[in-house]
Amino acid sequence: MKKTATKTETVDKKIKAIVDKYKGDKTALIAVLQDIQDACRYLPKDALTYVAEKLAVPVSRIYEVATFYNAFSLKPQGKHLIEVCAGTACHVKGGFNLLEKLERELDIACGDTTKDELFTLEQVRCLGCCSLAPVVRIGGNIHAFLTQDEIPKVLKTYKEM
Amino acid sequence: MSKINTREALDKAAKKGLSTLIPAKIKITVGMSTSGIASGAQGVYDALAAEIKKRKLSILLTKTGSMGMDCMEPLIDVMAPGKPRLSYAMVTAAKVPQLMDEIAKGTLEPIRPFYRTDGEQSLITGEKIKFVKGALPKELKEIPEINEVPFYKKQIKIATRNCGIIDPENIDEYIARGGYSALAKALTQKPDKLIDDVIASGLRGRGGGGFPTGVKWRSCREAEGDIKYVICNGDEGDPGAYMDRSVMEGDPHSVLEGMIIGAYAVGAHEGFIYVRNEYPLAVANLSKAIEQARANGFLGKNIFGSGFDFDIRIAKGAGAFVCGESTALMASLEGKAGEPRAKYIHTVEHGLWNRPSNLNNVETWANVPVVIARGGKWFAGIGSKESTGTKVFSLVGNVKNVGLVEVPMGIPLKEIVNDIGGGIPGGRKFKAVQTGGPSGGCIPAKLGSLPVTYDELSKAGSMMGSGGMIVMDDKTCMVDIARYFIEFLESESCGKCVPCREGVKRMRDILEDICKGKGKEGDVELLQSMSQAIIDGSLCALGGSAPNPVLSTIKYFRDEYDAHIKEKRCPAGVCKPLITYSVLKDKCTGCMRCAKVCPTKAATGEKKKTHKINKKLCIKCGACLEACKFGAIKVE
């Protein structure tokens, strides 16, 4: 088959390495997308067309998977991902107030990224740290028994990172 | 590493494990589960390592999983030869030097141990090990023994038998606790005999459904097909539940051993563990465990010289609650969107890649080695007649002792909340317990004597579920809880079938209106009839059980719905459009804290004078309530 002008040549080396690792295994689609999400903090369009070509999976299927699962984002994410736990224990202990405080403090709505691309604010379905409720995870670090009062200080430490 | 394929080799590994499990020198163990680390356990571990190095001490420092009482974390265990194991609660890195002084001097002050453990019994072999040699010194007698601590007293640990005791990264310690001996035994028996034993044990699926495990195994064994799979469901999606995370993190080999036995019984040679994306430590510990199991010959070709081949792969979920449903999970394993399919096609016959697949939950798998080692009859003697064995719960919410508890089935609900959980903090009233996650319901305090079994919980309008147990006090609004779960399910519904996709959405609209004070007469009846339609018409269990939180709260807390609808009032003070914040004159000291934290300048006042809240400016964020140390903020 004649090679069409895909983005294969222009796609990032990092992405190539990830996709090549799975040796065209179609069933590994989710794992491939997870690795790309981890590496780029989102799923770039050209990466997805490259995945489609290498795994021989239609782009439409990849789009279906990428939009089905909460772990994937098609928009670039901020440097620090803020995940506010919305588990039952956190809800009972007022976790929703933390989300509203973060929205006010960062001046963005849940799901959005700040203009300086430092923070992306998201709500997550239970981090399984119910004994520490309410919790917020920022860049993988769990902040336990968080209060609204502490939020500005916590955000500051990440801004300075 | 040489492979273990004889009893002698297994015993040798056990001996090696015992040398670190109960060493001939002082040992300090730090509880390093995800919640332990979040509470500062890593800092404690690092501080201990630094002190040991600085003082040039010969002390063994190890890590372990969740010790259970998560509200007391970071927890550490200190064990000296011939002495009981002493457990210290709420240890901080700053306390470490002082603690090291104590350990060096053999004193117990000023940091008193929380409790002591004088010995333990191996659940697998029944062998008793006494830690204490000779008489117990007087000062140690004053420290309560673990079985005298209310939190632990009524617990029986089977699935979590090794959690908080062994180093999850050390396979030899698992073997020293009887690990992999059930596998060795199983591989000498006929698969059908094993299945008989599992059926006799009465073990039922711990993921929530409660289907008899042995019956499932038999169907899978009898299903036609050369290639079969076993799958471990570690997609613990229920909010408020973290039992499976604790087992995967704290005792990954128990899951692997259960799966290997199950694979042998059903005739599978490939296995998958599907773990939630949100559990990185569980993935890490399971991955290490799989590598070790391979190196030791428990996974791979010709396991224990029996000719049986089996291997396990880990698949990470990508954040979809519905993937906890077995058919959706299998679709996800195939690399597709996790949409469930109709249940009349059984996965034990046509599961993953349309081949016979046996799926069990993490906790179920962790129970299997014990069932095989001790026999089905022994297992059936624990718990109640229809619900045998134990169940692990994550006891969370508004309860004093928050943590992981494993109790015999049939224990009354109130014993879990009041005795193990220590009741409700802050002198508040126990209102309800939510079990079964979004598929479950709220059980009111008045049903406190309800025995915790699959059937009794279902009869009460809830379900066992995977094991989240969220305690609610009188400050929890039951209408808001119903809205919370319905909103959760609305966003997690995969959208494949109409009753769930559209019905749940409309229910959410109605509940949201009620919470906003826009509820109408007849809304409750409408919710009830919609619920029935969704239950009858949904494709999978997500939709089929989605109305449970609504139905159970209507059943037991109808008065709260009426208060919202008729009086436009939220009795618990939660629903923001229906509440107002004000300052109690007699309690306000004029400390100005509320004014300082208020984001909209609604709370104002001068120093040492009673403050005020401007209701027009107040956004009801609760910051003042959180900040006030005198209980002067009133919400009604």
- CATH classification of the domain holding B431: 3.10.20.600
CA within 13 Å, CB half, B236: 32
Looking at the fold, whether B331 and B373 belong to one and the same domain comes out as yes
Using the predicted structure, report yes or no on whether residue A1 has a pLDDT greater than 70.
no
The residue in chain A having the minimum alpha-carbon distance to the alpha carbon of residue B620 is A97
Contact between B254 and B215 (Cβ < 8 Å): no
Average pLDDT over residues B557-570: 96
Q: In this structure, what DSSP letter does residue A56 have? A: T
Among A69, A93, A132, whose Cβ lies nearest the Cβ of B38? A132
Output the CA torsion sign for B379, B382, B386, B390.
negative
Looking at the fold, whether B337 and B270 belong to one and the same domain comes out as yes
- Inter-chain residue contact A64 with B337, CB threshold 8 Å: yes
Best residue in A130, A135, A146 for a mutation probing chain B (most B CBs within 10 Å) = A130
Looking at the fold, whether B456 and B505 belong to one and the same domain comes out as no
Among B338, B470, B494, whose Cβ lies nearest the Cβ of A89? B470
Residue B260 has phi, psi (to 5 degrees) of: -65, -45
The residue in chain B having the minimum alpha-carbon distance to the alpha carbon of residue A125 is B239
Asked if residue B155 belongs to a domain, the reply is no
Q: Which burial class, exposed, middle or buried, applies to B343 when counting CB atoms under 10 A from its CB (0-12, 13-18, 19+)?
A: middle
Looking at the fold, whether B98 and B230 belong to one and the same domain comes out as no
| CA gap B584, B454 in Å, rounded | 46
For B274-286, the pLDDT digits (tens) are 999 889 999 999 9
Q: What is the three-class DSSP state of B537?
A: helix
Non-local CB neighbours of A127 within 8 Å, separated by 6+ positions: A83, A85, A87, A135, A137, A142, B278
- Inter-chain residue contact B238 with A100, CB threshold 8 Å: no
Mean pLDDT score of chain B: 94
In angstroms, the Cα distances linking A129 to A89, A110, B118 are: 9, 21, 30
Non-local CB neighbours of B226 within 8 Å, separated by 6+ positions: none
- Token readout for A116 is 């300086």
- Token readout for B540 is 């999978």
Asked if residue B598 belongs to a domain, the reply is yes
Among A92, A100, A143, whose Cβ lies nearest the Cβ of B621? A100
Looking at the fold, whether B222 and B341 belong to one and the same domain comes out as yes
The number of residues making up chain A comes to: 161
- Inter-chain residue contact A91 with B73, CB threshold 8 Å: no
Looking at the fold, whether B232 and B282 belong to one and the same domain comes out as yes
Best residue in A51, A96, A105, A129 for a mutation probing chain B (most B CBs within 10 Å) = A129
pLDDT of residue B1: 62
Residue ranges making up the domain that contains B547? 478-566
Best residue in A23, A30, A84, A99 for a mutation probing chain B (most B CBs within 10 Å) = A30
Q: Give chain B positions within 8 Å (CB) of A154.
A: none
The confidence band for B196, taking pLDDT boundaries of 50, 70 and 90, is very high
Q: What is the three-class DSSP state of B463?
A: coil
The confidence band for A9, taking pLDDT boundaries of 50, 70 and 90, is low
The confidence band for B344, taking pLDDT boundaries of 50, 70 and 90, is confident
- Token readout for A118 is 């430092």
Q: Which of B129-138, B365-374, B620-629 has the highest mean pLDDT?
A: B365-374
B430 CA to chain A: closest CA distance, Å?
Answer: 13
- Residues of chain B above pLDDT 90, percent: 90
The pairs formed by B458-464 with CB atoms below 8 angstroms and a separation of 24 or more are B460/B552, B461/B548, B461/B551, B461/B552, B461/B555, B461/B556, B462/B434, B462/B435, B462/B436, B462/B548, B462/B552, B463/B208, B463/B435, B463/B436, B463/B439, B463/B545, B463/B548, B464/B208, B464/B210, B464/B387, B464/B391, B464/B435, B464/B436
Asked if residue B385 belongs to a domain, the reply is no
The confidence band for B342, taking pLDDT boundaries of 50, 70 and 90, is confident
In angstroms, the Cα distances linking B83 to B74, B75, B133, B135 are: 22, 18, 7, 10
Q: Give chain B positions within 8 Å (CB) of A77.
A: none
Looking at the fold, whether B370 and B266 belong to one and the same domain comes out as yes
Asked if residue B156 belongs to a domain, the reply is no
Which CATH number covers residue B127?
3.40.30
Among A27, A68, A126, whose Cβ lies nearest the Cβ of B337? A68
Using the predicted structure, report yes or no on whether residue A2 has a pLDDT greater than 80.
no
A41 CA to chain B: closest CA distance, Å?
Answer: 14
Looking at the fold, whether B181 and B240 belong to one and the same domain comes out as yes
Q: Where are the alpha helices (DSSP H) in chain A?
A: 13-21, 29-40, 45-55, 59-68, 88-92, 95-106, 151-159
- Residues of chain B above pLDDT 70, percent: 100
For B363-401, the pLDDT digits (tens) are 999 999 999 999 999 999 999 999 999 999 999 999 999
Q: What is the three-class DSSP state of B370?
A: helix
B628 CA to chain A: closest CA distance, Å?
Answer: 11
Peptide bond into B110 cis (omega under 30): yes
The residue in chain A having the minimum alpha-carbon distance to the alpha carbon of residue B313 is A28
The residue in chain A having the minimum alpha-carbon distance to the alpha carbon of residue B244 is A128
Average pLDDT over residues B181-204: 97
The confidence band for A4, taking pLDDT boundaries of 50, 70 and 90, is very low
Nearest Cα to Cα of residue B436 among B212, B239, B199 = B239
Q: Give chain B positions within 8 Å (CB) of A127.
A: 278
Which CATH number covers residue B207?
3.40.50.11540
Q: Which of B148, B163, B198 is the last residue of a domain?
A: B148
Looking at the fold, whether B538 and B491 belong to one and the same domain comes out as yes
- Inter-chain residue contact A130 with B394, CB threshold 8 Å: yes
- Inter-chain residue contact B316 with A30, CB threshold 8 Å: yes
Which CATH number covers residue B549?
1.20.1440.230
For B487-526, the pLDDT digits (tens) are 999 999 999 999 999 999 999 999 999 999 999 999 999 9
Pairing status of strand B229-234 against strand B270-275 = parallel
- Inter-chain residue contact B319 with A91, CB threshold 8 Å: no
Looking at the fold, whether B627 and B532 belong to one and the same domain comes out as no
| CA gap B149, B419 in Å, rounded | 10
The confidence band for A3, taking pLDDT boundaries of 50, 70 and 90, is very low
Q: How many domains does chain B have?
A: 5
| CA gap A55, A74 in Å, rounded | 19
For B6-60, the pLDDT digits (tens) are 999 999 999 999 999 999 999 999 999 999 999 999 999 999 999 999 999 999 9
Looking at the fold, whether B463 and B497 belong to one and the same domain comes out as no
A3 CA to chain B: closest CA distance, Å?
Answer: 27
- Inter-chain residue contact B402 with A147, CB threshold 8 Å: no
Q: Which of B436, B453, B473 is the last residue of a domain?
A: B473
Looking at the fold, whether B595 and B555 belong to one and the same domain comes out as no
The confidence band for A7, taking pLDDT boundaries of 50, 70 and 90, is very low
